[in-house]
A and B are shown apart, each in its own frame.
Chain A
Amino acid sequence: MIRQSWYEQSARGRLANLLDPGSFSEFLGPERREMSPHLALFDLPRQFDDGIIIGTGSIEGHKVLCAAQEGRFMGGAIGEIHGAKLTGLLHAACRLQRDVVIAFDTGGVRLQEANAGELAISEMIRALLEARAEGVRVVGLLGGRAGCYGGGSLIAGCCSALVISEQGRLSVSGPEVIETNKGVEEFDSRDRALVWRTMGGKHRYLIGAADIFVDDDVAAFRLAAIEALRVPAVLDQSVLAGEQARLELRLRRFGDAADGIDVWAKLGVARPAELPELDIDAFHATANACREGADAAR
């Protein structure tokens, strides 16, 4: 079978490959033309689905609610409509006690409607946590071209499980934002290797910020989603106490590391400088022997 890149796919293409064939029904699809009420003010083009596709379907027979952000429309940025679609879906997940899968591909808040986008992210987080309190799994998939930045990265941080590929980037401030605010000495955004070592999929998997590491392949993302949907997910006092302990330990172990390579060396990776070059099998063998797991403390 020919491998199909998850990174290169559109949001619609990702859902088509993720879900069982023919199982998808879309809610508020492009035919409803629910577009941003704010972009016209800036003479910017709008999109009929406001850059996110939501609906219901199944993954190996497991019914889910699902969402995919379109990184090619305004960098997947979250505006009023985009955000409200996902918030409504998460409210429904809570009511139906149905698991959710989100394919992230976003630079964060859409600045042309910044206040509405910022608040939408806060509403999504609250709705997501309410659903999780009912035992709903919320699985995030990270491997899109826009990465998962800004408020999007905080939503991802609330998911019960995260699947990531090498191309997946997860961070609050993006490389350009850090460079713009703090200077090129702090972060050279053109240094792609530095970007991957700091916020890329391999690093995130090694420190326990993501749970499953996959190839940049639509079939691999589907298999990982199936795996993540089998694991029970709860969110209560003990999980949060576990997460607190896990994050405190991370800061103690790696708090003085200057670079990803130093973190990997402290983890016990024998030749950490070579880690970015490892193929997936070699990487799994190395990483799984020494990585920090989240162990459901998420």
Chain B
Amino acid sequence: MQLAEILSSLFPAGHEIRESGGLVTGTGRLDPNNRIDVVGICGKTYPGVDEAVALAGHILKVAARPDRAPLLLLVDSGSQRMSRRDELLGLSETLAHLAKALWHADRAGHRTVGLLYGGSAAGAFIATALACGSLVALPSAWPEVMDLPSMARITKLPIDLLKEKAATTPVFAPGLDNLFATGAIVEIWDPREPLSGQLAALLARPASDDPRAQLGAQRGGRLKAAAIAAEVERLSLAHG
């Protein structure tokens, strides 16, 4: 689905959403009484320091408002921008700040929902989609930690071997189904049904503490994480 189709399916009661320089900001209405704030990164944009700080600034303004309107983050990005300038200016700090801003908005009562409808990768994925309280995806989404050719270069493993393993091993292979299995994505929406109803249904369910490790165990994509984290917590508390 294209961004325009997604917006009209999400907001049948209308929206005022602008796109500029790969960033999306504005508001939409699920129905006449329910306003949703919208931010996003679109067009496979690679966020660098400028984009991260601009997005975080917008999110913090929403977080500071006393109402409790939800915040929807639309994501179709590349990985973080790879450049000398971005690293010189502290890209790690700005991406961490963006993740903090999303966490803070959620905590301040503006429930954060990420909608991954295109790509996202590596540090950009962590600081955007994965930093939302709930992450959903459309079937068109293509999340990845790193593409297989780059992975082959860094791990010094042959690309054919990686392709062969990718077919049977969800834990490292790119793509929506593999990320879904680890618990990263709470649900995949049906593009043939109105997205407004699917968003309303998600918002009607109470938010919970981070459920992703449990989801990963239930779905079989990440069998050990939940148990290990729980065991460490138990040992720490027992030690006092």
Residues of A near any B CB (own CB < 8 A)? 25, 27-28, 34, 37-38, 41-42, 54, 56, 65, 80-81, 83-85, 87-89, 91-93, 95-96, 109, 111-123, 125-127, 129, 133, 150-151, 153-158, 170-173, 176-178, 180-182, 186-187, 198-199, 203-204, 207, 209, 235-237, 240-241, 243-244, 247-248, 250-251, 254-255, 257-260, 263
Contacts and interface: CB of A to CB of B under 8 A. Distances in A.
B225 A120 contact: yes
A107 B121 CA distance: 16
30 contacts: A41-B169, A42-B155, A87-B229, A88-B233, A89-B232, A89-B233, A96-B236, A109-B145, A111-B154, A113-B171, A114-B146, A115-B170, A127-B210, A133-B107, A150-B122, A157-B92, A157-B96, A158-B96, A173-B80, A182-B82, A199-B87, A209-B92, A209-B93, A240-B104, A244-B53, A244-B56, A247-B93, A247-B97, A248-B57, A250-B90
B222 interface: yes
B225 A116 contact: yes
Nearest to B223: A37
Contacts of B85: 257-258
B172 interface: yes
B148 to A, nearest CB: 10
A81 B221 CA distance: 13
Q: Chain B interface mostly helix, strand, loop or mixed?
A: helix
Interface stretch (B5-13, B26-34, B178-186, B188-196): B178-186
B40 interface: no
Given A85-B228, A118-B126, A92 B237 contact: yes
B156 to A, nearest CB: 11
Q: 5 smallest A-B Cβ distances: which pairs?
A: A157-B96, A88-B232, A92-B236, A153-B92, A88-B229
A125 B99 contact: yes
Contacts of B96: 125, 153-158
Contacts of A244: 53, 56-57, 60, 97, 101
Given A28-B232, A111-B151, A150 B104 contact: no
B207 interface: no
A171 B92 CA distance: 6
A181 B121 CA distance: 14
Contacts, number: 271
Interface in B209-229: 210, 212-213, 216, 221-226, 228-229
Nearest to A150: B123
B214 to A, nearest CB: 11
Nearest to A262: B88
A73 B118 CA distance: 34
A57 to B, nearest CB: 10
Main secondary structure of the interface of A (DSSP, over half): helix
B233 A111 contact: no
B212 A91 contact: no
A181 B150 CA distance: 8
Contacts of A178: 82-84, 87
| B92, B150, B232, most chain A CB atoms within 10 A | B92
Contacts of A115: 145, 170-173, 178-179, 181-182, 184, 221-222
Contacts of B89: 207, 250-251, 254-255, 257
A28 B231 contact: yes
B171 A38 contact: yes
B97 A157 contact: yes
A94 to B, nearest CB: 9
Given A114-B172, A154-B96, A125 B131 contact: yes
Given A28-B232, A241-B60, A118 B125 contact: yes
Contacts of B84: 178, 186-187, 198
Given A118-B125, A172-B95, A178-B87, A54 B232 contact: yes
Contacts of A125: 96, 99, 103, 126, 131
A251 B236 contact: no
Contact of B239 (A56, A127, A198): A56
B153 interface: yes
Contact of A111 (B130, B172, B231): B172
Given A88-B233, A122-B130, 16 more contacts: A34-B228, A88-B229, A109-B145, A114-B146, A115-B182, A118-B125, A118-B184, A122-B212, A153-B92, A171-B87, A171-B92, A178-B82, A178-B84, A182-B83, A247-B93, A251-B50
Given A96-B236, A112-B172, A117 B145 contact: yes
